[in-house]
Amino acid sequence: MSYKSIIVNLAIDAPPAPIVKVGVELAERFGACLIGLAAADVPPLVATGQGMVYEGEIMQIQRTEIEKRLAELRAEFERLVPASIFSEWGQAVCSPTRFLSVSARAADLIVTG
């Protein structure tokens, strides 16, 4: 069996090195393209007895923090993947499960933790 494209699905709250290492080893073995993915969503509004917990400004701050973390993950992914492996990167501020399921159509294998 051969694989031409491999996705490594990186969690926003976990170190990426172990997953990327497995992906790199597989990509080298099969001569595959390695695709790094990461996504996270802003938590939804929560209703309490005192009203809504999150307001627009707080949600925007959270979105900015997520975007910053996604940029850090991308930099780490690019640092860990050798130049000899063709690689791509995808990220989104949305449901990680949905992003992976939509992206998975383009991959032969998915590595996730």
Mean pLDDT of 63-76: 97
Instruction: Quote the CA–CA distance of 67 and 10 in Å, as a whole number.
Output: 14
The model's confidence at residue 9, banded by pLDDT at 50, 70 and 90, is very high
Write the DSSP assignment of the chain as a string of letters: ---SEEEEEE-TTS-SHHHHHHHHHHHHHHT-EEEEEEEE-PPPP-EETTEES--HHHHHHHHHHHHHHHHHHHHHHHHHS-TTS-EEEEEEES-HHHHHHHHGGG-SEEEE-
Region 5-112: CATH code? 3.40.50.620
The model's confidence at residue 46, banded by pLDDT at 50, 70 and 90, is low
Indicate the average pLDDT of the chain. Answer: 92
Domain locations along the chain: 5-112
**pTM for the complete prediction?**
0.87
